[in-house]
């Protein structure tokens, strides 16, 4: 903000950019831009293979760049710094690198789900975005255009942009960068929600709802940003922390700003009571996109929340912790109890994600090393599990597309033991049964919260997870102990893409449950820099 | 956070702005009042149309019984997008010497980033009316 | 030896993996693999047992959850207590596995059944072998899962699904208690490994110790069917009989007793927690015994008998150093005779076309001599007939209870003694109605209209029953005479203390027990033995019998305590989520716009009510933050 006072005569300081550190980001964004060009120049039938190749290669490439950087002799640093003395716009520290790795792996799996064309002939995405649903609210008969086996391949660059935005979001070291990243990650997601091939109306409705509410939340975030700037005279996270320690200013701006800022972040993480969009959008969006949102958006949102709380607001934690505790309790209660009444698998997992968001808030509030590493691990573990779960959801289909009504899942174990067994493992992980990653994650998060003096919250969290376990198990019972309906859905044999995504997600769920040591070590490698 | 004294003296810097505001307001009032007085008055069919030149909008606006096609909005939005983005070039032009090579590279990247969606828009028929 | 002790768990885990992942290819030989893995574990456990002196040996398999301060390792502890359990689980487990190859012969899912069964054995071994509370918790959840899968085995019976669900929910209540206890240990002691927790418990505040003790007790109550979480256990009998025998009689349901015995240093450190354990045990043993008198379903009677017998064990371990070894001894002998009784019940039902109602039986001893004899021996052991297993183990508990000072001696001793009398009553009633009297089945048809043809079971079923019957008779003397077991267990739970004094002397107790048991047997004979038993259940009965038939209102209690509030809460939240906010929006709109047309249009637009929720939440959040700061 000091730049403007310079005047044309003074040479502006050239920001230092550590290209090696931000290479993964650059790769993802560049690939997104190239993807847009490919859309423009390639004929329709060549777009899908080109886009798939480009997006998968770029995400893997970004992963390799990240791995090279991490295995090298790196130090946690900030980059894009305008002056040597101050901190830069992006913080490339160990939590950010861990989150980048998490996002890239989960993003890769989500891309595999998105790219699949074997489960739904032509892919889960509409062939032409302007197609409207039938008049009767998303009837399932497909028009001629809808049965066209092509698909709207813009979804690939959109995914890459969203992924890049999420990665930037996790590393943003000032609120302005964070806001830009928030928009970069949100706008593609709004579009992607409306691209479902079947049930067009509900998909488009989901997109509009998500967009409107997302804009609302962004406005909160921006307002909070403004108030905090008014308080601290800077948008840098570190400067806000410094200002908060000096006590001669009125704290009204600080706390009002924090509250408004938190709303924007909690909205993205679908934490109750800012969760209202979650069930509708998860249900309406194409299932691969839901998987991407559920796994990656949550990682990004909580990555950002962790950074803001730890870097800027550690000194005032006494004041806000009790309030955020209530938020966590509300979220856990809503997720655990309302999940009981759901009849739709996707909505059920949506409520489950709200409950998990509550657990994550508990971890994020413990501003200790344990809390940080536990929350990071939880995000990684939860991402794999929920992604694979949505992958399985996309396989259970009847003539009208995905059969997401729970009654259709009755007796699934008889039709397809493998799919039922996979889904059982994933549900057990969501419920937090030992030997799955869900248990280790919950355990670590609760321990961290407890050792930071949040015992009552841990008790509530345990009760909530016990309640939530009931509806996961209800699905298991349904799959194993019920007679299949005569006209029930069939389980599609997935192609190699979906199979890979589900298999990797499930295996990771088990491996992280049995030998989580390596991942926990990575997660606890270091703290935030600023 | 400037204190009261500097804030008071700082008001002086806004004087040109106030003058400009008064000037433009005066000019607008002057133009509107003088035109009917000095201009020729020859009414014909063209004069009664919403726009005095160019193509006639079709179908007619709401008052004329029709709706404005969504294409108008689409084109309008595209115009605003590219127009606004290009405005960002203005500050660079003013400060080009100060920001040096770094600024040049940054603006080049910016222009490339603007060009890509433009190419996309063009190639996919976004600029065609039908 | 100790380094390879993980093999104990690996055998059945491998079996479960092969059977569950192998699919139909393993149908032909799967059940034999299931038996072989458990037998292998038993043999290996026996070798470990013979080479061990009972001292405590910990071994770390790998570091499981290391988060800076929190180090949870996956380790095993081989000591006297865990070895005793290993032998019980794999020994009785082997016999029941073999029995199940015959019992489940006609079930198309037999291979999967053995997969779950092996899974259960593996999880149970993790539970008892773990060297820390987190490892124990792992096994705890594992056995819960296997039990849940097996209770719901008969998928077409809605009752089975309901029972499975009930078992799951009530176990979760207990699990929350256990989890909380573990977290408390970690936050106050800094570790969850047994060695460090037990070493550090002395420095912890007494209130915390009490809290840990009570929370552990809650966990134990959930798993062991103790008051107030007892109602799931009898319903769990919906599972196949081998499941009832292994999981819901001999092993899993005794995990609560194991937990208390294993945590003996914690309970020794806080007498109040110990007293709570004893009170729960004493109350439950009476409760189970009274309800057991009212049922006509052979497995339900045995189930309530299990509840009651575990009450004895809890009472014993609640007596502290006076009772740990006695509780474990009763647990072991009970494992034999109750497993034998269940297998006998299964054999009866197998021969009676799946019939379980003892009012429809009678006179079966001629038709099923082996079953009758083995069942009879189990019965004698359970009622404590002199020199059978139950005589040694149960009498010792009653004597120890009377050995307490003051009111405790009278309350605990009295309850245990009264329980013994009632036990004799309901078990005699069960045996008389099943094996003696008129053969009522001759005039009856099965549910699908066929004649009953009671017949003896095949050898693959009767041989395990015979072996268990031998155990029922002999195990008590083997374990009790010369204090064999008590001395063996000393390194784990401390030396068994003999009380001096107490309210009734040791030498008097056996006579009292035998006397009151004889009264029970006599009463049972008077009620059911000497007259004909009506096939239909009499409805004109006293209030006491009605209460007993209603499980002494255990279900109603659970309903009021857990289910109702949950339902209300859920309904309220759904209401708020769907109606409350929308209603508020619509109401506001109607108020402002005053037009019904607008109201109708608004009902389709949920986005604004979502946004309103966010807005209200936002106001609350910011307002609360400012209030905390300035309020």
Q: Is C362 left (phi over 0), alpha (psi -120 to 50) or beta?
A: left
Say if B17 falls within a structural domain. Answer: yes
- From A16's Cα to the closest Cα of chain C, the distance in A is 35
**A252-269 residue pLDDT tens:** 888 889 999 999 999 999
* Mean confidence (pLDDT) of chain C: 79
Q: How confident is the model at residue C264, as a pLDDT? A: 87
- In the A/B pair of chains, how many CB contacts fall below 8 A? 38
Point out the residue among C141, C622, C624 whose CB comes nearest to the CB of A434. C141
Give residues with Cβ within 8 angstroms of C481, minimum separation 6.
C392
Structure tokens at A412: 């699934």
User: Out of A288-302, C40-54, C583-597, which region has the weakest mean confidence (pLDDT)?
Assistant: C583-597
Q: Do A36 and B120 touch (CB under 8 A)?
A: yes
**C314-339 residue pLDDT tens:** 888 888 888 888 888 888 888 888 88
Q: Do A277 and C134 touch (CB under 8 A)?
A: no
Say if B91 falls within a structural domain. Answer: no
Q: Over 60: is that where the pLDDT of B6 sits?
A: no
Does an H or E element contain A490, and which? Answer: strand A490-491
Q: Over 50: is that where the pLDDT of C586 sits?
A: no
pLDDT confidence band for A186 (50 / 70 / 90)? very high
Domain of B6 in residue numbering reads as 1-40
- From A209's Cα to the closest Cα of chain C, the distance in A is 6
Helix, strand or coil, per DSSP, at residue A368: coil
Q: How confident is the model at residue A128, as a pLDDT? A: 66
User: Out of A369-373, C603-607, C626-630, which region has the weakest mean confidence (pLDDT)?
Assistant: C603-607
Helix, strand or coil, per DSSP, at residue A401: strand
Among B99, B107, B115, B126, the strongest candidate for a mutation testing the A interface, having the largest count of A CBs within 10 A, is B99
Which has more confidence, C455 or A358? A358
pLDDT confidence band for A137 (50 / 70 / 90)? very low
The single residue listed with the structure tokens 């820390």 is C132
- Give all strands of the β-sheet with A401-402 in edge-to-edge order: A401-402, A396-398, A490-491
Question: What is the rounded distance in angstroms from the CA atom of residue C100 to the CA atom of residue C242?
Answer: 6
* Mean confidence (pLDDT) of chain B: 78
pLDDT confidence band for C546 (50 / 70 / 90)? low
Question: What is the rounded distance in angstroms from the CA atom of residue A111 to the CA atom of residue A54?
Answer: 11
Q: Over 70: is that where the pLDDT of A19 sits?
A: yes
Helix, strand or coil, per DSSP, at residue C274: helix
Asked if A130 has any chain B CB less than 8 Å from its own CB, the reply is no
Q: How confident is the model at residue B4, as a pLDDT? A: 45
Q: How confident is the model at residue C337, as a pLDDT? A: 86
* Mean confidence (pLDDT) of chain A: 85
Q: How confident is the model at residue C606, as a pLDDT? A: 65
Report which listed range, A172-186, B7-21, C319-333, C609-623, is most confident: A172-186
**C107-127 residue pLDDT tens:** 777 888 888 888 889 999 989
Give residues with Cβ within 8 angstroms of A454, minimum separation 6.
A321, A325, A362, A365, A366
Instruction: Please indicate, yes or no, whether the overall pTM of this predicted structure exceeds 0.80.
Output: no
Question: What is the rounded distance in angstroms from the CA atom of residue C594 to the CA atom of residue C20?
Answer: 64
Mean pLDDT, rounded, for C162-184 = 81
Helix, strand or coil, per DSSP, at residue B72: helix
Question: What is the rounded distance in angstroms from the CA atom of residue A209 to the CA atom of residue C611?
Answer: 10
Question: What is the rounded distance in angstroms from the CA atom of residue A437 to the CA atom of residue A504?
Answer: 13
Give residues with Cβ within 8 angstroms of B72, minimum separation 6.
none
> Hey, which residues 557-576 in chain C have their CB within 8 Å of chain A?
566, 569-570, 573-574
Report the interhelical angle of A496-514 vs A417-431 (nearest 10°).
Answer: 40
Say if B117 falls within a structural domain. Answer: no
Percent of chain A having pLDDT more than 70?
92
Runs of H (alpha helix) within C293-443? 298-318, 324-351, 369-383, 389-402, 406-435
Q: Do C613 and A220 touch (CB under 8 A)?
A: no
Report which listed range, B19-28, B86-95, C258-267, is most confident: B19-28
Q: How confident is the model at residue C32, as a pLDDT? A: 85
Instruction: Report the 10 Å Cβ neighbour count for C449.
Output: 6
- From A454's Cα to the closest Cα of chain B, the distance in A is 39
Question: What is the rounded distance in angstroms from the CA atom of residue C501 to the CA atom of residue C508?
Answer: 12
Among A6, A10, A36, A81, the strongest candidate for a mutation testing the B interface, having the largest count of B CBs within 10 A, is A36
Which has more confidence, A227 or C489? A227
Rounded to 5 degrees, φ, ψ at A405 are -70, 135
Question: What is the rounded distance in angstroms from the CA atom of residue A274 to the CA atom of residue A331?
Answer: 9
- From A8's Cα to the closest Cα of chain C, the distance in A is 42
Q: Over 70: is that where the pLDDT of C149 sits?
A: yes
Q: How confident is the model at residue A83, as a pLDDT? A: 63
C176 CB neighbours in chain A (<8 A) are: 462-463, 466
Question: What is the rounded distance in angstroms from the CA atom of residue A125 to the CA atom of residue A115?
Answer: 9
Does an H or E element contain C223, and which? Answer: helix C206-224
C148 CB neighbours in chain A (<8 A) are: 473
Q: How confident is the model at residue C290, as a pLDDT? A: 83
- From B99's Cα to the closest Cα of chain A, the distance in A is 6
Q: How confident is the model at residue C67, as a pLDDT? A: 62
Say if CB C241 and CB C346 are below 8 A apart: yes
Helix, strand or coil, per DSSP, at residue A154: coil
- Which chains contact A through at least 3 pairs of Cβ atoms less than 8 Å apart? B, C
Q: Over 70: is that where the pLDDT of C201 sits?
A: yes
Closest by alpha carbon to C339, among C95, C167, C86, C31? C95
Report the interhelical angle of A252-268 vs A298-307 (nearest 10°).
Answer: 160
What's the angle, vertex CA C527, arms to CA C526 and CA C529, rounded to 5?
70
Q: How confident is the model at residue C552, as a pLDDT? A: 59
Q: Over 70: is that where the pLDDT of C133 sits?
A: yes
Question: What is the rounded distance in angstroms from the CA atom of residue A431 to the CA atom of residue A448?
Answer: 19
Instruction: Report the 10 Å Cβ neighbour count for A199.
Output: 23
Burial class, A294, CB count within 10 angstroms (exposed 0-12 / middle 13-18 / buried 19+): buried
Point out the residue among A251, A277, A520 whose CB comes nearest to the CB of C66. A520
Point out the residue among B1, B94, B102 whose CB comes nearest to the CB of A8. B94
Say if CB A342 and CB A474 are below 8 A apart: no
Between the alpha carbon of residue A393 and those of residues B12, C174, C449, the distances in Å are 67, 32, 45
> Hey, which residues 25-64 in chain A have their CB within 8 Å of chain B?
33, 36-37, 39-41
Secondary structure of C62-91 as H, E, C letters: EEEEEECCEEEEEEEEECHHHHHHHHHHHH
Mean pLDDT, rounded, for C348-363 = 78
Mean pLDDT, rounded, for B29-47 = 81
Helix, strand or coil, per DSSP, at residue C608: helix
Between the alpha carbon of residue C539 and those of residues A379, A423, C324, C545, the distances in Å are 59, 48, 43, 10
- From A355's Cα to the closest Cα of chain C, the distance in A is 14
Say if CB A472 and CB A427 are below 8 A apart: yes
Q: Over 70: is that where the pLDDT of A132 sits?
A: no
Secondary structure of C375-394 as H, E, C letters: HHHHHHHHHCCCCCHHHHHH
Say if CB C431 and CB C373 are below 8 A apart: no
Q: Over 70: is that where the pLDDT of C420 sits?
A: yes
Q: How confident is the model at residue C620, as a pLDDT? A: 83
Q: How confident is the model at residue A465, as a pLDDT? A: 86
Q: Are strands C70-78 and C57-67 parallel, antiparallel or unpaired?
A: antiparallel
As a residue count, chain B comes to 130
Question: What is the rounded distance in angstroms from the CA atom of residue C425 to the CA atom of residue C596?
Answer: 72
Q: How confident is the model at residue A494, as a pLDDT? A: 85
Rounded to 5 degrees, φ, ψ at A232 are -100, -15
Question: What is the rounded distance in angstroms from the CA atom of residue A250 to the CA atom of residue A272?
Answer: 29
Give residues with Cβ within 8 angstroms of C540, minimum separation 6.
none
Mean pLDDT, rounded, for C260-283 = 88
Q: How confident is the model at residue A181, as a pLDDT? A: 95
Q: What's the structural domain count of chain B? A: 1
The single residue listed with the structure tokens 């491998």 is C14
Helix, strand, coil content of chain A in percent (nearest 5): 70, 5, 25
Give residues with Cβ within 8 angstroms of A194, minimum separation 6.
A129, A203, A204, A206, A207, A208, A285
Say if CB A291 and CB A391 are below 8 A apart: yes
- In the A/C pair of chains, how many CB contacts fall below 8 A? 181
Mean pLDDT, rounded, for C604-629 = 75
**C466-484 residue pLDDT tens:** 888 888 887 777 777 767 7
Q: Do C67 and A524 touch (CB under 8 A)?
A: yes
Handedness of CA C235, C240, C245, C251 (dihedral sign): negative
Q: How confident is the model at residue A66, as a pLDDT? A: 92
**A327-345 residue pLDDT tens:** 999 899 888 888 877 788 8
Q: Over 50: is that where the pLDDT of A440 sits?
A: yes
Verify A-B touch: 3 or more CB pairs within 8 A.
Answer: yes
Say if B18 falls within a structural domain. Answer: yes
Say if B66 falls within a structural domain. Answer: no
Q: Over 90: is that where the pLDDT of A388 sits?
A: yes
Closest by alpha carbon to A31, among A70, A69, A63, A61? A61
pLDDT confidence band for A130 (50 / 70 / 90)? low
E strands, A194-320, are none
Q: Do A263 and C168 touch (CB under 8 A)?
A: no
Say if B95 falls within a structural domain. Answer: no
Say if B81 falls within a structural domain. Answer: no
- From A256's Cα to the closest Cα of chain B, the distance in A is 19
Say if CB A97 and CB A75 are below 8 A apart: no
Q: Do A37 and B116 touch (CB under 8 A)?
A: yes
User: Out of A146-155, A283-292, C283-292, C450-459, which region has the weakest mean confidence (pLDDT)?
Assistant: A146-155
**A389-432 residue pLDDT tens:** 999 998 888 877 788 888 888 888 888 888 888 999 999 899 88
Question: What is the rounded distance in angstroms from the CA atom of residue C251 to the CA atom of residue C74?
Answer: 22
A517 CB neighbours in chain C (<8 A) are: 62-66
Q: Is C352 left (phi over 0), alpha (psi -120 to 50) or beta?
A: alpha
Q: Do A516 and C187 touch (CB under 8 A)?
A: no
Q: How confident is the model at residue C555, as a pLDDT? A: 62
Closest by alpha carbon to A164, among A68, A237, A62? A62
Q: Over 70: is that where the pLDDT of B54 sits?
A: no
Q: How confident is the model at residue C367, as a pLDDT? A: 80
Say if CB C34 and CB C118 are below 8 A apart: yes
Report which listed range, A144-153, A412-421, A500-509, B99-108, is most confident: A500-509
Say if CB C344 and CB C497 are below 8 A apart: no
Question: What is the rounded distance in angstroms from the CA atom of residue C46 to the CA atom of residue C84?
Answer: 10
Verify B-C touch: 3 or more CB pairs within 8 A.
Answer: no
Between the alpha carbon of residue C192 and those of residues A438, C72, C173, the distances in Å are 19, 7, 21
Q: How confident is the model at residue A8, as a pLDDT? A: 43
pLDDT confidence band for C585 (50 / 70 / 90)? very low
Which has more confidence, A463 or C448? A463
Q: How confident is the model at residue C595, as a pLDDT? A: 39
Percent of chain A having pLDDT more than 90?
41
Q: How confident is the model at residue C236, as a pLDDT? A: 80
């Amino acid at each position: 903000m000091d730049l403007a006072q310079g005047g044309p005569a003074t040479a502006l300081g050239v920001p230092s950019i550590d290209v090696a550190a931000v290479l993964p980001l650059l790769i993802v964004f560049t690939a997104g831009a190239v993807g847009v060009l490919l859309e423009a120049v390639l004929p329709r039938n060549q777009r899908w293979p080109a886009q798939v190749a480009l997006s998968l290669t770029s995400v893997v490439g970004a992963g390799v760049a990240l791995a090279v950087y991490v295995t090298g002799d790196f130090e946690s640093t900030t980059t894009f710094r305008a002056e040597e003395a101050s901190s830069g716009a992006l913080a490339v520290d160990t939590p950010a690198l861990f989150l980048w790795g998490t996002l890239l792996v989960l993003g890769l799996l989500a891309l595999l789900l998105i790219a699949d064309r074997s489960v739904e002939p032509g892919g889960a995405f509409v062939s032409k975005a302007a197609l409207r649903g039938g008049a009767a609210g998303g009837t399932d008969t497909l028009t001629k255009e809808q049965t066209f086996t092509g698909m709207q391949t813009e979804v690939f660059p959109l995914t890459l942009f969203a992924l890049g935005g999420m990665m930037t979001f996790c590393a943003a070291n000032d609120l302005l960068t964070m806001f830009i990243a928030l928009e970069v990650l949100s706008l593609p997601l709004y579009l992607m929600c409306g691209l479902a091939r079947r049930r067009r109306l509900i998909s488009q409705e989901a997109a509009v709802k998500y967009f409107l509410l997302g804009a609302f939340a962004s406005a909160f975030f921006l307002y909070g940003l403004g108030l905090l700037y008014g308080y601290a005279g800077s948008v840098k996270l570190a400067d806000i922390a410094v200002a908060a320690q000096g006590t001669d200013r009125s704290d009204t701006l600080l706390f009002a700003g924090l509250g408004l800022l938190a709303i924007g972040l909690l909205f993205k993480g679908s934490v109750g009571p800012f969760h209202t969009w979650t069930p509708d959008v998860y249900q309406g969006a194409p299932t691969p996109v839901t998987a991407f949102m559920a796994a990656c958006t949550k990682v990004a949102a909580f990555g950002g929340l962790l950074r803001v709380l730890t870097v800027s607001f550690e000194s005032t934690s006494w004041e806000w912790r009790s309030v955020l505790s209530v938020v966590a309790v509300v979220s856990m209660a809503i997720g655990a109890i309302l999940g009981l009444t759901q009849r739709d698998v996707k909505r059920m997992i949506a409520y489950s994600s709200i409950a998990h968001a509550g657990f994550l808030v508990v971890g994020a509030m413990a501003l200790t090393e344990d809390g940080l590493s536990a929350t990071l691990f939880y995000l990684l573990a939860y991402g794999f599990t929920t992604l694979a779960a949505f992958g399985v959801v996309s396989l259970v289909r009847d003539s009208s597309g995905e059969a997401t009504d729970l009654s259709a899942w009755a007796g699934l174990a008889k039709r397809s033991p493998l799919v039922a067994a996979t889904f059982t493992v994933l549900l057990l992980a969501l419920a937090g049964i030992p030997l799955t990653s869900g248990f280790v994650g919950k355990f670590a998060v609760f321990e961290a919260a407890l050792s930071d003096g949040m015992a009552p919250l841990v008790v509530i969290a345990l009760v909530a997870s016990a309640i939530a376990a009931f509806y996961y198990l209800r699905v298991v019972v349904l799959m194993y102990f019920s007679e299949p309906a005569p006209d029930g859905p069939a389980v599609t044999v997935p192609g190699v893409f979906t199979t890979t995504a589900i298999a990797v997600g499930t295996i990771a769920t088990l491996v992280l449950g049995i030998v989580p040591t390596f991942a926990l070590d990575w997660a606890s490698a270091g703290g935030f820099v600023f | 956070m400037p204190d009261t004294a500097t804030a008071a003296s700082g008001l002086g810097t806004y004087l040109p702005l106030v003058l400009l505001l008064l000037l433009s307001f005066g000019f607008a009032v002057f133009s509107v009042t003088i035109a009917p007085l000095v201009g020729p008055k020859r009414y014909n069919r063209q004069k009664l149309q919403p726009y005095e030149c160019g193509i006639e909008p079709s179908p007619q606006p709401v008052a004329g019984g029709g709706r404005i096609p969504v294409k108008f909005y689409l084109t309008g939005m595209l115009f605003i997008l590219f127009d606004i983005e290009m405005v960002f070039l203005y500050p660079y032009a003013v400060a080009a010497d100060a920001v040096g090579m770094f600024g040049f590279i940054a603006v080049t990247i910016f222009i490339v980033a603007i060009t890509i969606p433009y190419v996309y828009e063009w190639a996919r028929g976004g600029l065609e009316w039908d | 030896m100790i380094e390879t002790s993980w093999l104990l768990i690996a055998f059945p885990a491998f079996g479960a993996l092969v059977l569950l992942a192998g699919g139909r290819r393993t149908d032909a030989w799967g059940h034999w693999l299931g038996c072989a893995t458990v037998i292998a574990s038993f043999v290996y456990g026996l070798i470990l047992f013979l080479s061990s002196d009972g001292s405590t040996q910990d071994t770390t398999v790998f570091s499981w959850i290391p988060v800076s301060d929190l180090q949870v390792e996956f380790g095993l502890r081989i000591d006297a207590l865990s070895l005793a359990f290993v032998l019980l689980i794999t020994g009785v487990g082997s016999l029941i596995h073999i029995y199940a190859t015959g019992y489940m012969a006609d079930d198309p899912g037999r291979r999967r059944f053995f997969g779950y069964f092996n899974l259960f054995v593996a999880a149970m071994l993790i539970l008892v072998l773990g060297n820390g509370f987190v490892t124990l918790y792992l096994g705890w959840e594992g056995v819960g899962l296997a039990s849940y899968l097996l209770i719901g085995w008969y998928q077409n019976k809605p009752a089975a699904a309901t029972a499975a669900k009930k078992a799951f929910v009530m176990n979760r209540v207990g699990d929350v208690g256990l989890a909380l206890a573990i977290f408390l240990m970690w936050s106050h002691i800094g570790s969850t490994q047994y060695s460090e927790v037990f070493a550090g418990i002395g420095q912890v505040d007494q209130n915390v110790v009490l809290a840990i003790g009570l929370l552990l007790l809650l966990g134990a109550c959930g798993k062991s069917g103790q008051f107030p979480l007892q109602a799931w256990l009898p319903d769990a009998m919906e599972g196949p009989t081998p499941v009832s025998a292994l999981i819901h009689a001999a092993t899993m349901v005794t995990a609560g007793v194991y937990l208390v015995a294993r945590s003996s240093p914690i309970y020794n450190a806080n007498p109040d927690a110990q007293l709570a354990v004893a009170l729960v045990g004493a109350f439950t043993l009476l409760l189970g015994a009274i309800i057991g008198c009212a049922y006509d379903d052979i497995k339900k009677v045995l189930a309530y008998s299990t509840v009651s017998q575990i009450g004895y064990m809890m009472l014993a371990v609640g007596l502290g150093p006076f009772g740990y070894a006695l509780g474990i001894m009763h647990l072991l002998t009970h494992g034999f005779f109750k497993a034998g009784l269940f297998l006998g019940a299964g054999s009866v039902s197998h021969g009676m076309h799946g019939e379980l109602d003892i009012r429809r039986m009678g006179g079966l001893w001629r038709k099923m001599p082996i079953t009758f004899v083995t069942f009879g021996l189990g019965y004698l052991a359970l009622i404590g007939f002199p020199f059978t297993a139950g005589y040694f183990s149960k009498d010792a508990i009653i004597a120890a209870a009377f050995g307490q000072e003051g009111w405790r001696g009278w309350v605990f001793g009295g309850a245990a003694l009264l329980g013994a009398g009632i036990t004799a009553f309901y078990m005699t009633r069960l045996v008389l109605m099943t094996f003696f009297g008129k053969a009522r089945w001759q005039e009856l048809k099965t549910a699908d209209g066929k004649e009953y043809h009671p017949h003896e079971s095949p050898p693959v079923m009767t041989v395990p029953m015979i072996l268990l019957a031998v155990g029922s008779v002999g195990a008590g003397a083997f374990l009790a005479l010369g204090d064999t077991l008590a001395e063996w267990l000393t390194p784990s739970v401390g030396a068994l203390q003999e009380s001096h004094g107490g309210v009734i002397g040791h030498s008097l107790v056996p006579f009292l027990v035998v006397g009151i048991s004889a009264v029970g047997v006599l009463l049972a004979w008077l009620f059911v033995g000497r007259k004909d038993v009506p096939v239909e259940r009499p409805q004109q009965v006293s209030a006491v019998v009605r209460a007993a038939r209603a499980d002494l209102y255990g279900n109603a209690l659970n309903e009021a305590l857990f289910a109702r509030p949950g339902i209300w809460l859920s309904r309220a939240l759904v209401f708020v989520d769907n109606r409350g906010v929308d209603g508020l929006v619509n109401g506001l709109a109607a108020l402002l716009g005053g037009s019904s047309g607008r109201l109708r249009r608004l009902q389709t637009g949920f986005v604004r009510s979502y946004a309103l929720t966010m807005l209200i939440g936002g106001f609350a959040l910011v307002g609360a933050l400012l209030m905390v700061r300035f309020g």
